[in-house]
Amino acid sequence: MKQEKPGWKSLPQGDVLGAGTAAQFKTGDWRSEKPIFYEDKCIQCLICWIVCPDSSVNIKDGKVTGFDYDHCKGCGICDHECPTKPGKRAITMEKERK
Amino acid sequence: MPVVAKTGNEAMAEAMRQINPDVVAAYPITPATEIVMIFAQFVADGLVDTEYVPVESEHSAISACVGAAAAGGRVMTGTSSQGLALMYEILPIASALRLPIVMSVVNRALSGPINIHCDHSDTMGGRDFGWIQLFSENAQEAYDNVLQAIRIAEDPQVELPAMATTDGFIISHGMEGVEVMEDQAVREYIGERKAKVSVLDVDNPVTLGALDLQDYYFEHKRQVAEAMKQAAPVIVKVGKEFGKKFGREYGLFEKYHLDDAEIAIVALGSTCGTAKVVIDELRSKGIKAGMLKIRVFRPFVAEEVVKALSKVPALAVLDRSDSYNAQGGPVFTEVRSALYDLANKPKIINYIYGLGGRDITVEDIHSVFADLQKVDKKAQVNYLGVRE
């Protein structure tokens, strides 16, 4: 179905939009790598949640539950900053296409 | 109100003090430095409530202004030449986001070669960025234009940024009698800014300036074009109210002995003062000379300009900048284009003059009027005051 977009007369002036509209728009589809979450290895320090530049670390009841792949760009900062030891990594990066 | 001796820069700074903006972000540049320097002293002396942001470049100055205006503040700055050019990247963002920032621009030649004196190349370089542009003939008009620019820019029909300009050194550093109004009267005249949105309003959050691609950019630019069209009647209304309150009425332009003129010039800025002397001399000899002094260059009020010029047989347009388009200066091309639909078009020629602060004298303007009496023999585009 063709969506009708507003013309210049009815469009709010000056490129003003509602807040938080990025949540409705999937911006993660060009990611080349993605973080994989291992709940059993996670120490729940929440550092990944703090450092994620795209608010793509999902939290429930104060605990990390995984990633929001609709918005994660695969930058790998969460993996880089995760303090878990080799062999017991809570986050690893994987190629989207192998 | 008392008439006091002030330079153009002092007059513009005084207007800013009376406006008492929420935020001023600025970086110094000759010959506009004094405006923000004097204003910084007002801030230091506690005479205004303004948050003064001393930034590291003009690019940052106008960027800070955009942010502050998006937060709903009344925001001002001032610059000149290279400083304005460094702002060019941000100027169309301010207009696209409909932020009524008011800027004092002291017209100075763009480098290069490097030069600090007056011409209009800096302001003309920014003429297509959706900013309203008001030109001043003297320090009094500079003061009056800054005050009116606030009202024009913030009018709900407009909401576009505006620049009020003076001519570098000629006005900015020339001392003249300026009538300064009472603070209270000025504050009543300008009122409060009523921003439609504020990016700092956490109860009503908005996104401002999101990526705007093939599907919406065009509509937003169309809105800017419409706002610029709406600005003309608002400028007239604001100028009328100014006249009612303070005794000096302003319109889109000033007609000086134009209605019965047989030869006339079109000019803007300080040159108009010199031209008035020449026109008075010619009129005393029975020569019907006149002038259209363009005050508002953006929007360019083509319909009104045509109405004013339609009965003048021979016109010379004076441009204090060149478009380097092999066709004439920016004022000339606008005026000439506006006259296209007239059945009986005036003869129209162009003079590019005064680049880099080259003096324009009474004798120079006399020579233009003398040329207009034999206009058929003149080239379409002429350079006035340059050594061959």
ipTM of this predicted complex?
A: 0.87
Please state, in angstroms and rounded to a whole number, the distance separating the CA atoms of residues B310 and B9.
Answer: 36
B277 plus B153 within the same structural domain = no
How far is it between the farthest Cα atoms of chain B?
69
User: What's the CA gap between A15 and A46, in Å, rounded?
Assistant: 35
Q: Which residue of A has its CA nearest to B99?
A: A14
User: Coil, strand or helix: which one is B6?
Assistant: strand
Contact B210 A15 (CB under 8 A): yes
> Would the CB atoms of B206 and A15 count as touching at under 8 Å?
no
Task: Say which amino acid occupies A50.
Answer: I
Regarding whether B201 and B73 lie in a shared domain, the answer is yes
pLDDT digits 0-9 by tens, B202-242: 999 999 999 999 999 999 999 999 999 999 999 999 999 99
Q: Residue B75 is part of which domain span?
A: 3-246
Number of domains in chain B: 2
Residue B238 and residue B206 in one domain: yes
Q: Give the three-state DSSP class for B3.
A: strand
Which pLDDT does position B22 carry in this prediction? 98
- Mark yes or no for CB contact B210/A17 under 8 Å: yes
- Residue B4 corresponds to which amino acid? V
Q: Which of B225, B246, B267 is the last residue of a domain?
A: B246
Nearest-Cα residue of chain B relative to residue A3: B215
How far apart are the CA of B159 and the nearest CA of chain A, in angstroms?
9
pLDDT given at position B107: 98
Angle among Cα B210, B163, B353 to the nearest 5 degrees reads: 125
Are residues B9 and B114 both part of a single domain?
Answer: yes
Of A5, A13, A16, Cβ closest to residue B215: A5
Same domain, yes or no: B284 and B299: yes
Residues with Cβ within 8 Å of residue B82, at least 6 apart in sequence: B29, B58, B110, B111, B122
Question: Quick one: B289 and B231 in the same domain?
Answer: no
Q: Residues B233, B101: one domain?
A: yes
Arithmetic mean of pLDDT over chain B: 97
Of B246, B269, B287, which closes a domain?
A: B246
User: Within this chain, do residues B315 and B361 fall inside the same structural domain, yes or no?
Assistant: yes
Q: Evaluate whether B296 touches B232 at the Cβ level (below 8 Å).
A: yes
Same-domain check for residues B279 and B168: no
Residue among B370, B239, B369, B373 nearest B304 (CA): B239
Lowest mean pLDDT among A21-30, B121-130, B206-215, B239-248: A21-30
- Residue range B316-344: mean pLDDT, rounded: 97
Same-domain status, B210 and B331: no
Segments of chain B assigned E as strands? 3-7, 23-26, 51-54, 75-79, 102-107, 132-135, 162-167, 175-179, 206-208, 253-256, 263-267, 289-294, 296-298, 314-319, 347-353, 381-384
Cβ contact (<8 Å) for A19 and B206?
yes
Q: Is the pLDDT of residue B91 over 60?
A: yes
What is the per-residue pLDDT for A20? 83
Return the pLDDT at A2. Answer: 63
A16-75 residues touching B, CB cutoff 8 A? 16-21
Measure the CA–CA gap between B91 and B65, rounded to whole angstroms. 10
Locate the domains of chain A by residue range.
44-98
Compute CA B232 distance to the chain's CA centroid, rounded to the nearest angstrom. Answer: 14
pLDDT 10s digits, B21-73: 999 999 999 999 999 999 999 999 999 999 999 999 999 999 999 999 999 99
Give the pLDDT score at B1. Answer: 78
Q: How many CB atoms lie within 10 A of CB B278?
A: 21
**pLDDT value for B284:** 98
What is residue B216's three-state secondary structure? coil
The answer to whether B66 touches B117, Cβ cutoff 8 Å, is no
Residue B221 shares a structural domain with residue B367: no
User: Per the structure block, which two tokens stand in for B303?
Assistant: 């319909």
CATH code, domain carrying B202: 3.40.50.970
When pLDDT is cut at 50, 70 and 90, the band that residue A22 belongs to is confident
Contacting residues for B237 by C-beta, under 8 A, at least 6 apart: none
Q: Which of B222, B246, B270 is the last residue of a domain?
A: B246
* C-alpha triplet B366, B255, B31: angle, nearest 5°: 70
Interchain contact, B205 vs A20, CB within 8 Å: yes
Neighbouring CB atoms inside 10 A of B284's CB total: 8
Neighbours of A36 (CB within 10 A): 14
Residues B221 and B259 in one domain: no
Domain spanning A44-98: which CATH class is it, in words? Answer: alpha beta
Residues B243, B249, B254: CA angle, nearest 5 degrees: 175
Run of H or E including A37: strand A33-37
CATH number at residue B377: 3.40.50.920
Q: Which residues contact B244 (CB under 8 A, 6 or more apart)?
A: none
